Structure 1
Amino acid sequence: MEQFLKDLFTNQSYDEKNFFLIAGPCVVESEELVMEVADKVSTICKDLGIPYVFKASYRKANRTSASSFTGLGDDTGLSLIDKVRKAYNLPATSDIHAHEEAGMASPYIDILQIPAFLCRQTDLLEAAAETGKIVNVKKGQFLSGPSMKFAVEKIRKAGNNNIMLTERGNTFGYTDLVVDYRNITWMKELNVPVIMDCTHSLQQPNQTTGVTGGNPQLIGTIAKAAIATGVDGLFIETHPNPAVAKSDGANMLQLDKLKGLLEQLVMLRKAI
Protein backbone atom coordinates (compact mmCIF):
# COMPACT_ATOMS: atom_id res chain seq x y z
CA MET A 1 0.00 0.00 0.00
CA GLU A 2 1.27 3.50 -0.83
CA GLN A 3 2.82 5.34 2.13
CA PHE A 4 0.31 8.19 1.92
CA LEU A 5 -2.51 5.64 2.25
CA LYS A 6 -0.82 4.00 5.23
CA ASP A 7 -0.61 7.43 6.83
CA LEU A 8 -4.29 8.03 6.02
CA PHE A 9 -5.29 4.86 7.88
CA THR A 10 -2.93 5.33 10.84
CA ASN A 11 -5.78 5.15 13.33
CA GLN A 12 -7.25 1.95 11.91
CA SER A 13 -6.30 -1.68 12.48
CA TYR A 14 -6.45 -3.51 9.16
CA ASP A 15 -4.97 -6.23 6.97
CA GLU A 16 -2.37 -4.53 4.75
CA LYS A 17 -3.10 -7.07 2.00
CA ASN A 18 -6.74 -6.05 1.90
CA PHE A 19 -8.40 -3.57 -0.43
CA PHE A 20 -9.56 -0.27 1.06
CA LEU A 21 -13.14 0.96 0.94
CA ILE A 22 -14.60 4.39 0.21
CA ALA A 23 -18.28 4.25 1.13
CA GLY A 24 -21.20 6.32 2.31
CA PRO A 25 -24.35 8.02 1.05
CA CYS A 26 -24.23 9.96 -2.20
CA VAL A 27 -24.96 13.29 -0.50
CA VAL A 28 -25.30 14.66 3.02
CA GLU A 29 -29.06 14.46 3.56
CA SER A 30 -29.13 14.79 7.35
CA GLU A 31 -26.97 14.32 10.44
CA GLU A 32 -28.90 11.16 11.31
CA LEU A 33 -28.14 9.58 7.93
CA VAL A 34 -24.40 10.24 7.86
CA MET A 35 -23.97 9.08 11.44
CA GLU A 36 -25.95 5.89 10.87
CA VAL A 37 -24.02 4.96 7.74
CA ALA A 38 -20.62 5.79 9.25
CA ASP A 39 -21.40 3.78 12.38
CA LYS A 40 -22.51 0.67 10.54
CA VAL A 41 -19.88 0.69 7.79
CA SER A 42 -16.99 1.42 10.16
CA THR A 43 -18.06 -1.48 12.40
CA ILE A 44 -18.21 -3.87 9.43
CA CYS A 45 -14.83 -2.73 8.11
CA LYS A 46 -13.20 -3.02 11.52
CA ASP A 47 -14.45 -6.61 11.84
CA LEU A 48 -13.15 -7.50 8.35
CA GLY A 49 -9.85 -5.64 8.52
CA ILE A 50 -10.76 -3.26 5.69
CA PRO A 51 -9.33 0.30 5.76
CA TYR A 52 -12.30 2.67 5.49
CA VAL A 53 -12.86 6.20 4.18
CA PHE A 54 -16.25 7.80 4.79
CA LYS A 55 -17.78 9.41 1.68
CA ALA A 56 -20.59 11.91 1.24
CA SER A 57 -20.93 14.90 -1.06
CA TYR A 58 -21.52 18.20 0.73
CA ARG A 59 -22.90 19.53 -2.56
CA LYS A 60 -24.17 17.81 -5.71
CA ALA A 61 -23.38 20.18 -8.56
CA ASN A 62 -23.87 17.78 -11.48
CA ARG A 63 -27.55 16.89 -11.33
CA THR A 64 -29.63 16.07 -14.40
CA SER A 65 -32.65 18.14 -13.41
CA ALA A 66 -32.61 21.67 -11.99
CA SER A 67 -35.19 20.53 -9.43
CA SER A 68 -32.97 17.78 -7.99
CA PHE A 69 -31.64 17.98 -4.43
CA THR A 70 -28.15 19.50 -4.27
CA GLY A 71 -27.43 19.57 -0.55
CA LEU A 72 -28.08 21.27 2.78
CA GLY A 73 -25.64 24.10 2.04
CA ASP A 74 -21.85 23.97 1.86
CA ASP A 75 -21.19 24.97 5.48
CA THR A 76 -23.71 22.50 6.88
CA GLY A 77 -22.61 19.66 4.62
CA LEU A 78 -18.91 20.10 5.36
CA SER A 79 -19.47 20.48 9.09
CA LEU A 80 -21.46 17.23 9.21
CA ILE A 81 -18.75 15.37 7.30
CA ASP A 82 -16.21 16.74 9.77
CA LYS A 83 -18.44 15.63 12.64
CA VAL A 84 -18.35 12.07 11.25
CA ARG A 85 -14.54 12.24 11.00
CA LYS A 86 -14.21 13.24 14.63
CA ALA A 87 -16.91 10.98 16.06
CA TYR A 88 -15.63 7.81 14.38
CA ASN A 89 -11.96 8.75 13.89
CA LEU A 90 -12.26 8.22 10.13
CA PRO A 91 -10.75 9.88 7.07
CA ALA A 92 -13.38 11.37 4.78
CA THR A 93 -13.79 12.41 1.16
CA SER A 94 -16.13 14.60 -0.85
CA ASP A 95 -16.34 16.07 -4.36
CA ILE A 96 -15.15 19.54 -5.25
CA HIS A 97 -16.38 21.19 -8.43
CA ALA A 98 -14.41 24.42 -8.89
CA HIS A 99 -10.93 25.63 -7.98
CA GLU A 100 -12.19 27.94 -5.24
CA GLU A 101 -13.78 24.98 -3.45
CA ALA A 102 -10.42 23.28 -2.85
CA GLY A 103 -9.36 25.67 -0.10
CA MET A 104 -12.87 25.80 1.35
CA ALA A 105 -13.29 22.02 1.62
CA SER A 106 -9.75 20.88 2.47
CA PRO A 107 -9.93 21.64 6.23
CA TYR A 108 -12.91 19.28 6.55
CA ILE A 109 -11.90 16.32 4.38
CA ASP A 110 -8.82 14.17 3.78
CA ILE A 111 -9.28 13.29 0.12
CA LEU A 112 -10.43 15.80 -2.48
CA GLN A 113 -12.44 13.94 -5.11
CA ILE A 114 -12.54 15.29 -8.66
CA PRO A 115 -15.78 14.35 -10.48
CA ALA A 116 -15.41 12.43 -13.73
CA PHE A 117 -16.87 15.20 -15.86
CA LEU A 118 -14.20 17.58 -14.50
CA CYS A 119 -11.10 15.39 -14.70
CA ARG A 120 -9.57 17.59 -17.42
CA GLN A 121 -10.08 20.92 -15.62
CA THR A 122 -6.51 22.11 -15.13
CA ASP A 123 -7.24 24.89 -12.62
CA LEU A 124 -9.34 22.51 -10.50
CA LEU A 125 -6.63 19.81 -10.46
CA GLU A 126 -3.93 22.34 -9.62
CA ALA A 127 -5.95 23.92 -6.82
CA ALA A 128 -6.66 20.49 -5.32
CA ALA A 129 -2.98 19.56 -5.57
CA GLU A 130 -1.87 22.78 -3.86
CA THR A 131 -3.84 21.93 -0.71
CA GLY A 132 -1.44 19.05 -0.07
CA LYS A 133 -4.38 16.69 0.47
CA ILE A 134 -4.80 13.38 -1.37
CA VAL A 135 -6.45 13.96 -4.75
CA ASN A 136 -8.70 11.23 -6.16
CA VAL A 137 -9.53 11.85 -9.81
CA LYS A 138 -12.42 9.95 -11.34
CA LYS A 139 -11.74 8.91 -14.92
CA GLY A 140 -14.06 10.66 -17.33
CA GLN A 141 -16.72 8.53 -18.97
CA PHE A 142 -15.28 9.78 -22.25
CA LEU A 143 -11.63 8.81 -21.59
CA SER A 144 -9.45 5.71 -21.72
CA GLY A 145 -7.32 4.59 -18.81
CA PRO A 146 -3.99 5.57 -20.42
CA SER A 147 -5.22 9.10 -21.13
CA MET A 148 -5.49 9.75 -17.38
CA LYS A 149 -1.71 10.21 -17.34
CA PHE A 150 -2.33 13.86 -18.16
CA ALA A 151 -4.41 14.40 -15.03
CA VAL A 152 -1.70 12.69 -12.98
CA GLU A 153 0.98 14.84 -14.58
CA LYS A 154 -0.91 18.07 -13.78
CA ILE A 155 -1.19 17.17 -10.10
CA ARG A 156 2.44 16.06 -9.84
CA LYS A 157 3.63 19.20 -11.61
CA ALA A 158 1.76 21.22 -8.99
CA GLY A 159 3.89 19.50 -6.33
CA ASN A 160 1.58 16.78 -5.03
CA ASN A 161 2.31 13.05 -5.38
CA ASN A 162 -0.63 11.90 -3.26
CA ILE A 163 -2.83 10.81 -6.16
CA MET A 164 -5.48 8.16 -6.73
CA LEU A 165 -7.50 7.35 -9.83
CA THR A 166 -11.00 5.89 -9.98
CA GLU A 167 -12.55 3.85 -12.79
CA ARG A 168 -16.29 4.45 -13.21
CA GLY A 169 -17.14 3.09 -16.65
CA ASN A 170 -17.36 4.56 -20.12
CA THR A 171 -20.31 5.98 -21.99
CA PHE A 172 -22.02 3.32 -24.08
CA GLY A 173 -24.81 4.54 -26.30
CA TYR A 174 -26.98 7.27 -24.82
CA THR A 175 -28.29 5.88 -21.54
CA ASP A 176 -25.77 3.31 -20.33
CA LEU A 177 -22.18 2.77 -19.21
CA VAL A 178 -19.83 -0.18 -19.63
CA VAL A 179 -16.74 -1.08 -17.58
CA ASP A 180 -13.54 -1.95 -19.43
CA TYR A 181 -11.37 -3.66 -16.81
CA ARG A 182 -8.26 -3.10 -18.89
CA ASN A 183 -8.42 0.48 -17.59
CA ILE A 184 -7.57 -0.72 -14.07
CA THR A 185 -4.35 -2.33 -15.30
CA TRP A 186 -3.47 0.64 -17.50
CA MET A 187 -4.03 3.20 -14.74
CA LYS A 188 -1.99 1.16 -12.25
CA GLU A 189 0.91 1.54 -14.69
CA LEU A 190 0.87 5.26 -13.77
CA ASN A 191 2.10 4.19 -10.30
CA VAL A 192 -0.94 5.42 -8.37
CA PRO A 193 -3.56 3.48 -6.38
CA VAL A 194 -6.60 2.64 -8.51
CA ILE A 195 -10.17 2.42 -7.24
CA MET A 196 -13.26 0.86 -8.81
CA ASP A 197 -16.47 2.84 -8.43
CA CYS A 198 -18.94 -0.03 -8.17
CA THR A 199 -22.08 2.11 -8.05
CA HIS A 200 -21.67 5.01 -10.49
CA SER A 201 -20.40 2.58 -13.12
CA LEU A 202 -23.90 1.08 -13.06
CA GLN A 203 -25.69 4.35 -13.70
CA GLN A 204 -28.06 4.74 -16.63
CA PRO A 205 -27.72 8.48 -17.26
CA ASN A 206 -29.60 10.86 -19.55
CA GLN A 207 -33.04 9.40 -18.93
CA THR A 208 -35.93 11.42 -20.33
CA THR A 209 -37.44 11.60 -16.83
CA GLY A 210 -34.50 13.75 -15.68
CA VAL A 211 -33.63 11.16 -13.02
CA THR A 212 -30.65 8.86 -13.57
CA GLY A 213 -31.40 5.14 -13.55
CA GLY A 214 -29.19 2.25 -12.48
CA ASN A 215 -28.57 -1.49 -12.06
CA PRO A 216 -27.69 -1.97 -8.37
CA GLN A 217 -28.22 -5.73 -8.62
CA LEU A 218 -24.89 -5.85 -10.48
CA ILE A 219 -22.80 -4.07 -7.82
CA GLY A 220 -21.42 -7.40 -6.61
CA THR A 221 -20.49 -8.41 -10.14
CA ILE A 222 -18.59 -5.16 -10.74
CA ALA A 223 -16.83 -5.39 -7.36
CA LYS A 224 -15.78 -9.04 -7.71
CA ALA A 225 -14.38 -8.49 -11.19
CA ALA A 226 -12.45 -5.45 -9.96
CA ILE A 227 -10.91 -7.40 -7.07
CA ALA A 228 -9.94 -10.18 -9.48
CA THR A 229 -8.32 -7.59 -11.74
CA GLY A 230 -6.15 -6.32 -8.89
CA VAL A 231 -7.79 -3.03 -7.94
CA ASP A 232 -6.48 -1.31 -4.80
CA GLY A 233 -9.74 0.08 -3.47
CA LEU A 234 -13.49 0.02 -3.96
CA PHE A 235 -15.97 2.90 -3.98
CA ILE A 236 -19.53 1.96 -3.01
CA GLU A 237 -22.35 4.38 -2.27
CA THR A 238 -24.75 2.94 0.27
CA HIS A 239 -27.97 4.04 1.97
CA PRO A 240 -30.36 2.43 4.49
CA ASN A 241 -33.23 2.89 2.02
CA PRO A 242 -32.07 3.76 -1.52
CA ALA A 243 -35.67 4.16 -2.66
CA VAL A 244 -35.96 7.40 -0.68
CA ALA A 245 -32.38 8.65 -1.17
CA LYS A 246 -32.21 12.24 -2.41
CA SER A 247 -29.49 11.48 -4.96
CA ASP A 248 -28.43 8.40 -6.97
CA GLY A 249 -30.82 6.06 -5.18
CA ALA A 250 -31.23 4.01 -8.36
CA ASN A 251 -27.66 2.71 -8.24
CA MET A 252 -26.81 2.64 -4.52
CA LEU A 253 -26.36 -0.50 -2.44
CA GLN A 254 -28.82 -1.04 0.37
CA LEU A 255 -26.87 -0.71 3.61
CA ASP A 256 -27.93 -4.05 5.08
CA LYS A 257 -26.48 -5.85 2.03
CA LEU A 258 -23.00 -4.37 2.40
CA LYS A 259 -21.60 -6.76 5.02
CA GLY A 260 -22.36 -9.91 3.02
CA LEU A 261 -20.79 -8.46 -0.12
CA LEU A 262 -17.65 -7.32 1.70
CA GLU A 263 -17.24 -10.75 3.30
CA GLN A 264 -17.25 -12.32 -0.17
CA LEU A 265 -14.80 -9.74 -1.49
CA VAL A 266 -12.36 -10.28 1.38
CA MET A 267 -12.36 -14.01 0.67
CA LEU A 268 -11.85 -13.36 -3.03
CA ARG A 269 -8.94 -11.01 -2.31
CA LYS A 270 -7.25 -13.67 -0.17
CA ALA A 271 -7.79 -16.28 -2.86
CA ILE A 272 -5.92 -14.28 -5.50
Structure 2
Amino acid sequence: MIHTYLPNIKNADSNAFFLMAGPCAIEGEEIALRIAERIVTITDKYNIPYIFKGSYRKANRSRVDSFTGIGDEKALKILEKVGKTFGVPTVTDIHESHEAAMAAAYVDVLQIPAFLCRQTELLVAAAETGKVVNIKKGQFLSAESMKFAVDKVKDSGNDKVFLTDRGNTFGYQDLIVDFRGIPAMRNFNVPTVMDCTHSLQQPNQTSGVTGGKPELIETIAKAAIAVGADGLFIETHPDPANAKSDGANMLHLDLLEGLMEKLIRVRQAIL
Protein backbone atom coordinates (compact mmCIF):
# COMPACT_ATOMS: atom_id res chain seq x y z
CA MET A 1 0.00 0.00 0.00
CA ILE A 2 2.79 2.43 0.88
CA HIS A 3 4.11 2.67 -2.68
CA THR A 4 0.73 3.91 -3.93
CA TYR A 5 1.07 6.84 -1.55
CA LEU A 6 4.76 7.53 -2.19
CA PRO A 7 5.99 6.27 -5.58
CA ASN A 8 9.53 7.42 -4.72
CA ILE A 9 9.82 5.32 -1.58
CA LYS A 10 12.64 2.79 -1.63
CA ASN A 11 12.09 -0.93 -0.94
CA ALA A 12 8.39 -0.48 -1.63
CA ASP A 13 7.75 -4.18 -2.26
CA SER A 14 9.13 -5.26 1.11
CA ASN A 15 6.89 -7.13 3.52
CA ALA A 16 8.46 -5.12 6.30
CA PHE A 17 6.81 -2.25 8.12
CA PHE A 18 7.86 1.21 6.90
CA LEU A 19 9.89 3.59 9.02
CA MET A 20 9.51 7.33 9.55
CA ALA A 21 12.64 8.41 11.41
CA GLY A 22 15.05 11.26 11.95
CA PRO A 23 15.77 14.04 14.41
CA CYS A 24 13.02 15.88 16.22
CA ALA A 25 14.06 19.19 14.67
CA ILE A 26 16.33 20.18 11.82
CA GLU A 27 19.38 21.51 13.67
CA GLY A 28 21.69 22.00 10.68
CA GLU A 29 22.65 20.49 7.34
CA GLU A 30 25.63 18.41 8.43
CA ILE A 31 23.87 16.57 11.23
CA ALA A 32 20.68 16.03 9.18
CA LEU A 33 22.67 14.44 6.36
CA ARG A 34 24.68 12.35 8.81
CA ILE A 35 21.56 11.00 10.49
CA ALA A 36 19.86 10.33 7.16
CA GLU A 37 22.89 8.52 5.75
CA ARG A 38 23.06 6.22 8.78
CA ILE A 39 19.36 5.40 8.65
CA VAL A 40 19.36 4.85 4.87
CA THR A 41 22.25 2.40 5.29
CA ILE A 42 20.21 0.45 7.85
CA THR A 43 16.90 0.51 5.98
CA ASP A 44 18.56 -0.48 2.70
CA LYS A 45 20.26 -3.40 4.46
CA TYR A 46 16.97 -4.71 5.82
CA ASN A 47 14.70 -3.65 2.92
CA ILE A 48 12.63 -1.32 5.09
CA PRO A 49 10.76 1.45 3.23
CA TYR A 50 11.99 4.72 4.72
CA ILE A 51 10.75 8.31 5.11
CA PHE A 52 13.15 10.88 6.62
CA LYS A 53 11.55 12.95 9.39
CA GLY A 54 12.56 16.38 10.63
CA SER A 55 10.57 19.36 11.89
CA TYR A 56 11.50 22.60 10.13
CA ARG A 57 10.06 24.51 13.07
CA LYS A 58 8.84 23.55 16.53
CA ALA A 59 5.72 25.47 17.50
CA ASN A 60 4.60 23.59 20.61
CA ARG A 61 7.20 24.45 23.25
CA SER A 62 7.05 24.41 27.03
CA ARG A 63 8.87 27.76 27.43
CA VAL A 64 9.28 30.83 25.30
CA ASP A 65 13.06 30.39 25.29
CA SER A 66 12.91 26.78 24.00
CA PHE A 67 14.54 26.01 20.64
CA THR A 68 12.10 26.45 17.76
CA GLY A 69 14.29 26.18 14.67
CA ILE A 70 17.09 27.53 12.49
CA GLY A 71 14.77 29.41 10.13
CA ASP A 72 11.90 28.04 8.06
CA GLU A 73 13.37 28.29 4.57
CA LYS A 74 16.81 27.16 5.68
CA ALA A 75 15.41 24.06 7.38
CA LEU A 76 13.04 23.22 4.53
CA LYS A 77 15.91 23.42 2.04
CA ILE A 78 17.86 20.96 4.21
CA LEU A 79 14.90 18.57 4.13
CA GLU A 80 14.79 18.92 0.36
CA LYS A 81 18.53 18.22 0.14
CA VAL A 82 18.20 15.10 2.28
CA GLY A 83 15.47 13.79 0.00
CA LYS A 84 17.44 14.43 -3.17
CA THR A 85 20.76 13.21 -1.79
CA PHE A 86 19.47 9.84 -0.60
CA GLY A 87 16.47 9.37 -2.86
CA VAL A 88 13.99 9.09 0.01
CA PRO A 89 10.70 10.87 0.74
CA THR A 90 10.63 13.38 3.59
CA VAL A 91 8.08 14.47 6.18
CA THR A 92 7.71 17.58 8.29
CA ASP A 93 4.94 18.99 10.46
CA ILE A 94 2.93 22.13 9.78
CA HIS A 95 1.04 24.20 12.33
CA GLU A 96 -1.10 26.72 10.45
CA SER A 97 -2.98 26.48 7.17
CA HIS A 98 -0.79 29.05 5.40
CA GLU A 99 2.26 26.83 5.99
CA ALA A 100 0.89 23.92 3.93
CA ALA A 101 1.77 25.17 0.46
CA MET A 102 5.15 26.47 1.62
CA ALA A 103 6.22 23.15 3.16
CA ALA A 104 4.73 21.12 0.32
CA ALA A 105 7.21 22.72 -2.07
CA TYR A 106 10.04 20.92 -0.24
CA VAL A 107 8.71 17.67 1.28
CA ASP A 108 6.59 14.66 0.33
CA VAL A 109 4.48 14.25 3.48
CA LEU A 110 2.81 16.94 5.57
CA GLN A 111 2.31 16.00 9.21
CA ILE A 112 -0.49 17.35 11.36
CA PRO A 113 0.55 17.57 15.03
CA ALA A 114 -1.59 15.71 17.55
CA PHE A 115 -2.87 18.83 19.29
CA LEU A 116 -4.04 20.18 15.91
CA CYS A 117 -5.71 17.08 14.46
CA ARG A 118 -9.19 18.62 14.74
CA GLN A 119 -8.25 21.87 13.01
CA THR A 120 -10.40 21.71 9.88
CA GLU A 121 -8.71 24.53 7.94
CA LEU A 122 -5.29 23.00 8.57
CA LEU A 123 -6.39 19.55 7.40
CA VAL A 124 -8.05 20.96 4.30
CA ALA A 125 -5.03 23.11 3.42
CA ALA A 126 -2.73 20.09 3.75
CA ALA A 127 -5.07 17.96 1.65
CA GLU A 128 -5.27 20.55 -1.10
CA THR A 129 -1.50 20.40 -1.68
CA GLY A 130 -1.92 16.86 -3.00
CA LYS A 131 0.81 15.60 -0.69
CA VAL A 132 0.44 12.67 1.67
CA VAL A 133 -1.07 13.88 4.96
CA ASN A 134 0.06 12.15 8.16
CA ILE A 135 -2.36 12.97 10.97
CA LYS A 136 -1.23 12.34 14.51
CA LYS A 137 -4.02 11.21 16.81
CA GLY A 138 -4.72 13.69 19.55
CA GLN A 139 -3.73 12.57 23.05
CA PHE A 140 -7.25 13.53 24.06
CA LEU A 141 -9.10 11.51 21.39
CA SER A 142 -10.14 7.91 20.88
CA ALA A 143 -8.80 6.02 17.89
CA GLU A 144 -12.33 5.67 16.53
CA SER A 145 -12.85 9.45 16.47
CA MET A 146 -9.95 9.85 14.02
CA LYS A 147 -12.35 8.78 11.27
CA PHE A 148 -13.53 12.37 11.08
CA ALA A 149 -10.00 13.70 10.55
CA VAL A 150 -9.50 11.18 7.74
CA ASP A 151 -12.83 12.19 6.22
CA LYS A 152 -11.85 15.87 6.20
CA VAL A 153 -8.79 15.11 4.09
CA LYS A 154 -10.59 12.70 1.77
CA ASP A 155 -13.57 15.01 1.37
CA SER A 156 -11.08 17.66 0.23
CA GLY A 157 -10.08 15.44 -2.69
CA ASN A 158 -7.00 13.73 -1.24
CA ASP A 159 -7.02 9.99 -0.49
CA LYS A 160 -3.39 9.87 0.66
CA VAL A 161 -3.70 9.77 4.43
CA PHE A 162 -1.70 8.16 7.24
CA LEU A 163 -2.78 8.00 10.87
CA THR A 164 -0.23 7.99 13.68
CA ASP A 165 -0.90 7.06 17.29
CA ARG A 166 1.22 8.81 19.94
CA GLY A 167 -0.42 7.72 23.15
CA ASN A 168 -3.20 9.05 25.34
CA THR A 169 -3.05 11.58 28.15
CA PHE A 170 -2.74 9.81 31.49
CA GLY A 171 -3.05 12.21 34.37
CA TYR A 172 -1.23 15.51 33.91
CA GLN A 173 2.35 14.46 33.19
CA ASP A 174 2.29 11.10 31.48
CA LEU A 175 0.98 9.18 28.48
CA ILE A 176 -0.19 5.62 27.99
CA VAL A 177 -0.59 3.64 24.77
CA ASP A 178 -3.83 1.77 24.13
CA PHE A 179 -2.83 -0.73 21.47
CA ARG A 180 -6.47 -1.36 20.58
CA GLY A 181 -6.16 1.88 18.65
CA ILE A 182 -3.92 0.41 15.94
CA PRO A 183 -6.47 -2.08 14.53
CA ALA A 184 -9.25 0.45 15.12
CA MET A 185 -7.55 3.04 12.90
CA ARG A 186 -6.52 0.44 10.32
CA ASN A 187 -10.25 -0.15 9.83
CA PHE A 188 -10.34 3.21 8.05
CA ASN A 189 -8.22 1.63 5.26
CA VAL A 190 -5.29 3.98 5.73
CA PRO A 191 -1.69 3.14 6.73
CA THR A 192 -1.45 3.29 10.50
CA VAL A 193 1.75 4.23 12.32
CA MET A 194 2.93 4.03 15.92
CA ASP A 195 4.97 6.95 17.21
CA CYS A 196 7.30 5.04 19.52
CA THR A 197 9.09 8.06 20.94
CA HIS A 198 6.49 10.77 21.55
CA SER A 199 4.24 8.18 23.18
CA LEU A 200 6.91 7.91 25.87
CA GLN A 201 7.04 11.63 26.63
CA GLN A 202 6.41 12.96 30.11
CA PRO A 203 5.10 16.45 29.30
CA ASN A 204 4.64 19.49 31.51
CA GLN A 205 7.48 18.79 33.90
CA THR A 206 8.10 21.47 36.52
CA SER A 207 11.46 22.26 34.89
CA GLY A 208 9.70 23.36 31.71
CA VAL A 209 11.55 20.64 29.77
CA THR A 210 9.60 17.58 28.63
CA GLY A 211 10.83 14.29 30.07
CA GLY A 212 10.62 10.78 28.66
CA LYS A 213 11.26 7.05 28.99
CA PRO A 214 13.41 6.07 25.98
CA GLU A 215 14.27 2.74 27.58
CA LEU A 216 10.73 1.62 26.64
CA ILE A 217 10.98 2.47 22.91
CA GLU A 218 11.71 -1.16 22.06
CA THR A 219 8.70 -2.33 24.09
CA ILE A 220 6.32 0.08 22.35
CA ALA A 221 7.73 -0.77 18.91
CA LYS A 222 7.47 -4.53 19.39
CA ALA A 223 3.90 -4.29 20.63
CA ALA A 224 2.91 -2.04 17.72
CA ILE A 225 4.28 -4.44 15.14
CA ALA A 226 2.65 -7.37 16.94
CA VAL A 227 -0.82 -5.78 16.67
CA GLY A 228 -0.37 -4.93 13.00
CA ALA A 229 0.99 -1.40 12.69
CA ASP A 230 1.94 -0.61 9.09
CA GLY A 231 4.71 1.76 10.07
CA LEU A 232 6.77 3.10 12.95
CA PHE A 233 7.72 6.68 13.77
CA ILE A 234 10.97 7.01 15.72
CA GLU A 235 12.92 10.15 16.51
CA THR A 236 16.62 9.40 16.70
CA HIS A 237 19.82 11.35 17.21
CA PRO A 238 23.54 10.55 17.62
CA ASP A 239 23.62 12.54 20.86
CA PRO A 240 20.13 12.77 22.39
CA ALA A 241 21.40 14.45 25.56
CA ASN A 242 22.48 17.44 23.50
CA ALA A 243 19.69 17.45 20.92
CA LYS A 244 17.96 20.80 20.66
CA SER A 245 14.46 19.33 20.98
CA ASP A 246 12.89 16.28 22.67
CA GLY A 247 16.18 14.63 23.53
CA ALA A 248 14.65 13.02 26.63
CA ASN A 249 12.55 10.58 24.62
CA MET A 250 14.66 10.01 21.48
CA LEU A 251 16.38 6.77 20.51
CA HIS A 252 20.17 6.91 20.34
CA LEU A 253 21.10 6.44 16.70
CA ASP A 254 23.55 3.66 17.63
CA LEU A 255 20.62 1.56 18.85
CA LEU A 256 18.50 1.80 15.71
CA GLU A 257 19.95 -1.12 13.74
CA GLY A 258 19.64 -3.59 16.59
CA LEU A 259 16.05 -2.52 17.13
CA MET A 260 15.22 -2.97 13.43
CA GLU A 261 16.65 -6.51 13.49
CA LYS A 262 14.37 -7.45 16.38
CA LEU A 263 11.31 -5.82 14.84
CA ILE A 264 11.78 -7.60 11.54
CA ARG A 265 11.69 -10.90 13.40
CA VAL A 266 8.47 -9.86 15.13
CA ARG A 267 6.98 -8.85 11.78
CA GLN A 268 7.94 -12.15 10.16
CA ALA A 269 6.40 -14.06 13.05
CA ILE A 270 2.94 -12.54 12.49
CA LEU A 271 2.83 -12.64 8.67
TM-score range, shorter chain: over 0.9
3-state DSSP of counterpart to 2:234: strand
Q: Which amino acid aligns with 1:158?
A: S
Q: Which of 240, 246, 254 pairs up with 1:256? A: 254
2:105 to 107, 110, 117: 107
Q: C-alpha distance in 2, partners of 1:187/1:8?
A: 25
Q: Is the 8 A contact 1:15 1:50 kept in 2?
A: no
Write the letter of the residue equivalent to 1:7.
Answer: P
Q: In structure 1, what is the equivalent of residue 4 of structure 2?
A: 4
2:15 to 17, 24, 31: 17
Letter in 2 for 1:162: K
- Following superposition, the deviation at residue 107 of structure 1 comes to 1.0
Paired residues in the alignment total 270
Q: Deviations over 1:222-265 (max 9, x none)?
A: 00000000000000000000000000000000000000000100
> What percent of counterpart residues are identical?
61
Maintained 8 Å contact 2:2/2:12: no
User: Displaced runs of 4+ in structure 1, greater than 6 A?
Assistant: none
Q: Deviations over 1:40-92 (max 9, x none)?
A: 00000000000000000000000111110000010101001101011111100
Aligned equivalent of 2:89: 91
**Structure 2 alignment gaps of length 5 or more:** none
What amino acid does structure 2 have at the position aligned with 1:66? V
Q: Which amino acid letter does the alignment assign opposite residue 4 of structure 2?
A: F
Matched, 1:80 2:83: no
Pair 1:48–1:14, CA change in 2 (3 A): farther
Distance 1:56 1:2 in 2: 20
Q: Describe the SS at the equivalent of 1:7.
A: coil
- Could you tell me which amino acid in structure 2 is paired with residue 266 of structure 1? I
| Change beyond 3 A, Cα 1:244–1:115 | same
TM, length-normalised to structure 1: 0.98
Q: 2:118 aligns with which of 113, 120, 143?
A: 120
What is the aligned partner in structure 1 of residue 242 from structure 2? 244
Distance 1:225 1:3 in 2: 24
1:156 equivalent in alignment to 2:154: yes
**Superposition RMSD in Å:** 0.9
- Alignment-derived partner of residue 62 in structure 1: 60
Find the aligned partners of 1:149 and 1:239 in 2 and give their Cα distance.
Answer: 33
**1:218: which partner in 2?**
216
The CA deviation at 1:16 is 2.4
The CA deviation at 1:13 is: 3.1
Q: Which digits, 9 at most, give the CA deviation of each residue in 1:89-121, with x for residues without a partner?
A: 110000000000000000100000000000000
* Contact 2:29-2:78 within 8 A present in 1 as well: yes
- Residue number among 178, 181, 194 corresponding to 2:179 in the alignment: 181
2:31 aligned residue: 33
Q: Give the Å deviation of 1:17.
A: 1.2
On the 8 A contact 2:53/2:90 being kept in 1, the answer is yes
Tell me which amino acid in the other structure corresponds to 2:208. Answer: G
- Aligned-partner residue type, residue 129 of structure 1: A
1:165-211 Cα deviation digits (max 9, x unpaired): 00000000010000000000110011111000000000000111110
Unaligned runs of 5+ in 1: none
**Partner SS, residue 111 of structure 2:** strand
Q: SS of the residue aligned with 2:98?
A: helix
How far the C-alpha of 1:267 sits from its partner, in A, is 1.0
Answer yes or no: is the 8 Å Cα contact 2:3–2:12 preserved in 1: no
TM-score (normalizing by structure 2)? 0.98
Specify the alignment match of 1:208 in structure 2. 206
What is the alpha-carbon distance in structure 1 between the residues aligned to residue 2 and residue 20 of structure 2?
A: 16
Counterpart for residue 190 of structure 1: 188
Change (3 A) 1:246 1:101: same
| Residue in structure 2 matched with residue 129 of structure 1 by the alignment | 127
CA contact (8 A) 1:14 1:46 kept: no
> 2:196 touches 2:221 (CA, 8 Å); kept in 1?
yes
Q: Which amino acid aligns with 1:206?
A: N
> What does residue 42 of structure 2 align with?
44
Distance 1:244 1:15 in 2: 37
